[in-house]
DNA sequence: TATTTTTCTGCAATCGATTGCATATTCAAA
DNA sequence: TTTGAATATGCAATCGATTGCAGAAAAATA
């Protein structure tokens, strides 16, 4: 029942007493074809409900008009937005998207990348998983002559096109803002330091402290606090210190910041008067918590369009090697109630 | 620079002085191959960094181990969760996912489906766009011998496998709950009625009213209020009525419910005492608004796994036609503060 | 030892679309 | 009318992997 034989160009050719070559030329608008013949072919193709077999075509042409995307989690806001951004552009160009998710696992990421290579995608777009410990698989992509674009979480040592956020600057500005609001002792919830984004955010934090001659207090810098639960746990400890911090920068995510807010409220700390909070990512919910949470917008959809445009502008059909290039998108600090001590007073 | 020639089975064959047939058999573990030869092939393949060309393989084999997914919006929570669910299963089975987004546009949806057909995906999984006005393109999928599974928003008249939520029942229960809490005049914010899900939710609403002998008041049934803005606008009107409703069921989405909440609060209506609110979808933010919003959880990730499992269990490699079958997932009413009048008093 | 069975490998066709080259036809310029 | 260019179409190879068939070699059985 299933495999009703698909219609091919040979079927059309036979019916019109021409060869497949002619049909192919008519359909692809390539080379000389008599206008009348062409119309006939088109008409017959429509009648027979012909659909081009992209597999065959791609095999012959040596390219697939397909871009493979590997992200840690498809259903994480930031990534699904980036994907949507990529899609907006690739769709216009008639490109397809194969989406893989690494689940933050290096092993799975490697498998995904290999599958994409096997699929002969024209380009692989990736944001690496949190536990990446080497980038051989990405080097491999390059070796196979496949374009590679990294975004957000990137392996800095690989010479590829990259689209990143200026995490350091954003983080720096966030801390400056907190200091400007009068907070004196600012804790940092940091993410896995093997990821560039978290390293950069920490650097921004340190740079801001330095600027204001504040000594770094390692006891209020908490590692790996990047979920709501971990953020909550860290906060419980921080606020139980003899001299607790008066602000917490959840540099990992807004979820973490939410954990901070909930625990702080539960422990009777008034936000923002007794405790300032700043998150990262501008998740939708940050606007509607009470108080609303100060955070950093990453322009995720734009990041996606930037990635796609980069491909078409820089790599597209060019056959030459490409000079590595990094596009940096400036995130925006969004000041909300959770860190507005001055305006509150 | 770019097109470093990829290694093929012929390269391996040449090096070992055998034919491609042997190499193919060795690599695919198919048919007779001398163990020693096989090991040699495997070793050489690894050395040369050989990657199978899936295009060629798929063309020859007539199937792609790929499933195409079409959703209205990739970066909409519900859909990205379903996709994540699908991915979890398909990944285990070694299948690939091509993701398309219809942007709620019928025309684009048709194009996406056609692309997927051209790509010879083994199965298309779709949730139709809001402005679908016919389903020829889906019939076409079937005609091409491609499996089709619909989920959530389905074209009921098409005889395919379907995975849906029991929207009617969920809606019914939500209204019963509101009535049970003492709300007497319950407004409905409804979605586009060409979509099954919104029709069903309305039916559930009507059925619940009927059960309690409440007459339907058409003036408090608002069409197409499925964004936050539209929900807000509708609420502004509803609450300005001479006798405003004392509860609003935003059957379209939690965003709409959020709009309701914001406007109600702004207009000085106390939630839940003066106005009960119930949303739909259990978006993350519903838990952290104040008051938190009563809503309905759709088990979106499960829906994805159900879809994928359905494919492998029912369609997989079977060559027969399939009896249409509908899997209905029971959503769960999550009662929160926004509708808990009794417990408040 | 003769015969059958099993294992191994190669040949060549196949999947469907594309394209360089060759041939044939048309049309226009000389 | 002759010549050259432009137009139309066909032939056959190609992309890379798979597989039915056939022959050869090895192993098992009579």
pLDDT at A60: 96
The CATH fold assigned to A167-298+333-344 is Rossmann fold (3.40.50)
Q: Which residue is nearest to nucleotide C15 (CA to C1')?
A: B60
**Res. A344: pLDDT tops 60:** no
Q: Is B301 on the interface with A (CB under 8 A)?
A: yes
> Per-residue b/e over A82-119, b at no fewer than 16 CB within 10 Å?
bbbbbbbbbbeeebbbbbbbbbbbbebbbbbbbbbbbb
- What residues have CB less than 8 Å from A230, skipping those under 6 apart? A189, A224, A256, A259
pLDDT tens for residues B327-338? 999 999 999 999
Q: What is the mean pLDDT of residues A116-122?
A: 94
Q: What angle do CA A240, A241, A244 make, to 5 degrees?
A: 95
How far apart, in Å, are the Cα atoms of A122 and each of A95, A257, A322, A323, B172?
10, 39, 15, 18, 50
Inform me whether the pLDDT recorded for B185 exceeds 60: yes
Question: Is CATH 3.40.630.10 correct for B65-164+300-328?
Answer: no
Range from A260-264, B184-188, B270-274, B282-286 carrying the lowest mean pLDDT: B282-286
- Asked if residue B303 lies in contact with residue B79, where contact means CB atoms within 8 angstroms, the answer is no
Least confident of A51-55, A198-202, A226-230, A234-238: A226-230
Restricting to A residues 230-289, those with a Cβ less than 8 Å away from any Cβ of B are 258, 284-285, 288-289
Say if residue B130 is preceded by a cis peptide, omega within 30 of 0. no
Nearest to A101 among B84, B117, B301 (CB): B84
Q: Stretch B58-64: mean pLDDT, rounded? A: 94
Answer for the pair B220, B246: CB distance below 8 angstroms, yes or no. no
Nearest-Cα residue of chain A relative to residue B53? A118
pLDDT value at residue A141 = 93
Residue B80 with chain A: CB contacts under 8 Å? 74-75, 80
CATH 3.40.50.2300 holds for A65-164+300-329: yes
Whole-number distance in Å between A19 CA and C23 C1': 15
| pLDDT tens digits along A40-96 | 999 999 999 999 999 999 999 999 999 999 999 988 999 999 999 999 999 999 899
pLDDT tens digits along A129-140: 998 889 999 999
Provide the residue count of chain B.
345
What integer best gives the mean pLDDT of chain B? 93
Predicted pLDDT at A145:
87
**Cα atoms in the Cβ-side hemisphere of radius 13 Å centred on B287:** 9
Bond prior to B291 in cis (omega within 30° of 0):
yes
Token pair 């949730």 is found at B127
Cis peptide before A253 (omega within 30 of 0): no
Asked if strand C comes closer than 7 Å to A9 Cβ, the answer is: yes
DSSP class of residue A313?
Answer: I
Cα atoms in the Cβ-side hemisphere of radius 13 Å centred on B91? 24
CB A67 within 8 A of CB A116: no
- Beta bridge partner(s), residue A161: A149, A325
Query: Which residues of A fall within a CB distance of 8 Å from B277?
Result: none
pLDDT on residue B129: 94
**d(Cα B112, Cα B158) in Å, to the nearest integer?**
19
The gap between B34 CA and D24 C1' (Å) is 14
- Structure confidence at residue A343 (pLDDT): 66
pLDDT above 60: residue A254: yes
- In the block, tokens 């010879």 appear at B120
CA–CA dist A96, A160 (Å, integer): 22
Higher pLDDT among residues B288 and A41, named by residue: A41
Using a pLDDT cut of 90, give the percent of chain A over it: 85
Instruction: Identify whether the C-beta of residue A66 lies closer than 8 Å to the C-beta of residue A84.
Output: no
- Average of pLDDT values for B236-244? 95
pLDDT of residue A321: 67
Residue whose entry in the numeric block shows the structure tokens 């393989």: B57
Q: What is the pLDDT at residue A3?
A: 47
- Cα distances (Å, whole numbers) of residue A180 to A177, A232, A281: 5, 25, 21
Which pLDDT value is given to residue B78?
93
Check residue B345 and give its pLDDT: 47
State which residue has its Cα closest to the C1' atom of C16.
A56
| Residues contacting A187, CB < 8 A, separation 6+ | A220, A221, A222, A238, A245, A247, A248, A249
Over residues B69-92, the mean pLDDT reads 93
Taking CB atoms and an 8 Å limit, are B52 and A84 in contact across chains?
no
Residue B286 has pLDDT above 80, yes or no: yes
Substitution target from A9, A49, A55, A143 for chain B, most B beta carbons within 10 A: A55
Residue B4 has a pLDDT of: 62
For β-strands A147-151 and A161-165, DSSP reports them as parallel
Strand B326-329 relative to strand A147-151: parallel, antiparallel, unpaired? unpaired
Which positions in chain A touch B97 (Cβ < 8 Å)? 98-100
Q: How far off is chain A from B3, nearest CA to CA, in Å?
A: 5
pLDDT of res. A4? 62
Cβ neighbours for B159, distance < 8 A, ≥ 6 positions apart: B324
Give the chain A residue whose CA is nearest to the CA of B117: A51
What is the per-residue pLDDT for B319? 58
Average pLDDT of the segment spanning A195-203: 95
B2 Cβ under 8 Å from any chain A Cβ: yes
Residue B1 confidence (pLDDT):
35
DSSP string across A257-308? HHHHHHHHHHTT--TTTT-EEE-SB--GGGGTSSSPPBEEE--HHHHHHHHH
Burial class (CB in 10 A: 0-12, 13-18, 19+), A343: exposed
Examine the pLDDT at B342 and tell me if it is beyond 90: no
Where along chain B do its domains lie? 9-52, 65-164+300-328, 167-298+333-344
| Nucleotide with smallest C1' distance to residue B59 CA | C15
Give the CA dihedral A88, A201, A101, B74, nearest 10 degrees. Answer: -30
Rounded CA separation A64/A121 (Å): 6
Interface of A with B in 29-58 (CB under 8 A): 49, 51-56, 58
What DSSP assignment string belongs to A93-130?
TT-EEEEEE-TT-HHHHHHHHHHHHHTT-SEEEE---T
Q: What's the pLDDT at B343?
A: 66
CA A214 to chain centre: 34
- Rounded CA gap, A239 and A275, in Å? 9
B203-221 confidence digits (pLDDT tens): 999 999 999 999 999 999 9
Mean pLDDT, chain A, integer: 93
Distance CA B65, CA B297 (A): 32
Cβ-based neighbours of A28, under 8 Å, separated by 6 or more: none
> How far apart are the C-alpha atoms of B248 and A97, rounded to whole Å?
40
**Helix and strand numbers, DSSP H then E, in chain A:** 13, 12
List all nucleotides in chain C with at least one atom under 7 A from a protein Cβ: 7-12, 14-20
Q: B122 and B147 in contact (C-beta within 8 Å)?
A: yes
Could you please report the per-residue DSSP string of B136-205?
HHHHHHHHTT-EEEEESS--TTS-SEEEEE-HHHHHHHHHHHHHHTT---EEEE---TTSHHHHHHHHHH
pLDDT-based confidence at residue B5 (cuts at 50, 70, 90): confident
- Nearest nucleotide to B57 (CA to C1') is D17
Whole-number pLDDT of residue A284? 85
Q: Inter-chain contact A74–B83, Cβ cutoff 8 Å?
A: yes
Distance between first and last Cα of chain B: 75
Same CATH topology for B65-164+300-328 and B167-298+333-344?
yes
User: How many C-beta atoms surround the C-beta of residue A176 within 10 A?
Assistant: 17
Strands B295-297 and B332-334: antiparallel
| Cis amide linkage into residue B272, ω under 30° from 0 | yes
Report the half-sphere exposure of B184 (CA within 13 A, side-chain side). 3
How close, in Å, is residue A210 to chain B by CA atoms?
36
Q: Which residues pair with A122 in a beta bridge?
A: none
**Closest to A201 (Cα-Cα) out of A299, A114, A87, A279:** A279
Partner residue opposite B2 with nearest CB, options A80, A145, A258: A145
Task: With a cut of 80, say whether residue A320 has pLDDT above it.
Answer: no
Cα separation values, A310 from A62, A160, A304, B58, Å: 21, 11, 10, 30
Considering all nucleic acid strands, name the nucleotide whose C1' atom is nearest to the C-alpha of residue A55. C16
Q: What percent of chain B has pLDDT over 90?
A: 85
- Could you write out the DSSP letters of every residue in B98-118? EEEE-TT-HHHHHHHHHHHHH
Query: Under a CB-based contact definition with an 8 Å cutoff, are residues A63 and A49 in contact?
Result: no
The pLDDT of residue B3 is 47
């Amino acid at each position: 029942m299933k495999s009703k034989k698909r219609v091919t160009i040979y079927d059309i050719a036979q019916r019109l007493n021409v060869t497949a070559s002619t049909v192919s030329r008519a359909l692809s608008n390539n080379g000389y074809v008599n206008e009348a013949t062409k119309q006939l072919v088109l008409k017959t193709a429509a009648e027979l409900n012909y659909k081009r077999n992209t597999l065959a075509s791609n095999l012959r042409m040596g390219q697939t008009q397909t871009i493979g995307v590997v992200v840690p989690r498809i259903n994480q806001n930031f990534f699904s937005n980036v994907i949507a951004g990529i899609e907006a552009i690739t769709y216009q160009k008639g490109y397809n998207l194969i989406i893989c998710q690494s689940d933050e696992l290096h092993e799975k990421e490697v498998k995904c990348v290999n599958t994409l290579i096997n699929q002969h995608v024209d380009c692989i777009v990736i944001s690496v998983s949190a536990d990446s410990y080497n980038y051989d698989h990405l080097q491999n992509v390059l070796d196979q002559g496949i374009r590679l674009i990294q975004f957000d979480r990137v392996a800095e040592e690989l010479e590829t096109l990259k689209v990143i956020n200026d995490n350091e600057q954003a983080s720096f500005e966030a801390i400056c803002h907190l200091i400007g609001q009068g907070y004196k002792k600012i804790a940092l919830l940091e993410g896995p330091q093997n990821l560039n984004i978290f390293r950069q955010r920490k650097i921004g934090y340190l740079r801001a402290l330095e600027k204001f001659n504040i000594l770094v207090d390692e006891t209020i810098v908490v590692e790996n606090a990047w979920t709501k639960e971990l953020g909550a746990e860290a906060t419980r400890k921080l606020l139980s210190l003899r001299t607790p911090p008066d602000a917490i920068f959840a540099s990992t995510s807004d979820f973490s910041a939410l954990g901070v807010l909930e625990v702080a409220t539960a422990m009777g700390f008034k936000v923002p008067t007794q405790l300032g909070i700043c998150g990262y990512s501008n998740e939708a919910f940050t606007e509607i918590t009470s108080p609303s949470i100060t955070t950093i917008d990453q322009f995720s959809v734009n990041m996606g369009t930037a990635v796609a445009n980069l491909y078409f502008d820089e790599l597209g059909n060019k056959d030459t090697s490409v000079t590595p290039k990094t596009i940096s998108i400036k995130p925006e600090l969004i000041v909300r109630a959770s860190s507005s001590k001055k305006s509150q007073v």
